Structure 1
């Protein structure tokens, strides 16, 4: 057990230092994950004013190169976990895991891509993608139906 400082209050907490916990593993499998090396801007450079917990509560916006219908910048949301540390402060860098809320919007992202983290309009950090793990759970009804159909074929062939 360790102490987590959150919003000025200190409370007991447990830290995930890299591996997916029982609670986070299903989300990460369902949405897929991206590992990246994130560098936050310092306060003096217009970055965040305070540190954040690295346990998946933060869901920042990411510019991953998608465009809005009008051609302007579009951002996408992903939950963020910090590997090997309880959180990340302004000006610090760490390896992070991202679990996109809309994985289909992230399909084009590859290792080596530079993506930017936003909180509202301003950029608060930059990250280089180092690993892509696609979703391992069906994301649409057609996928669920196809897997159910395949499973039924296997069961019926075993019944003979």
Structure 2
């Protein structure tokens, strides 16, 4: 009906008064009060420097700041990508699979391939004589430490 009137109060609140017709053709007064505040935020020094870089590509020559036609400023959205588009299975199924595979494996000695732990191997004494005692935790006889240095001593010898 009439042009809206805007008045600014002493506290910075803008009051907009406008008259409209409702569904029953009655004249209705609509009053809106708007307070505008400038919100400032602190950014790091490097971010502030990047805002002053010259634009490039399709935005070359445009004014500073984001262009509403090409840039959307919104909240950060976390994106989780899954390789191959496979659906993630629940953790319960993975735990059950792990228990099933462990249950099917049998214990095997590394040396005699028996069904016991390597530390409990009954052939431990025999294997120590064959030079496998150091792998099983036993002591090997020290090598010949002659003047030629052919054996391994307690001193570091560079390669």
Whether the TM-score (by the shorter chain) exceeds 0.5 is: no
Q: Rg: which structure is higher?
A: 2
Report the TM-score, using the length of structure 1 for normalisation. Answer: 0.16
Looking at secondary structure, tell me which structure has more strand per residue. Answer: 1
TM-score by length of structure 2 reads 0.16
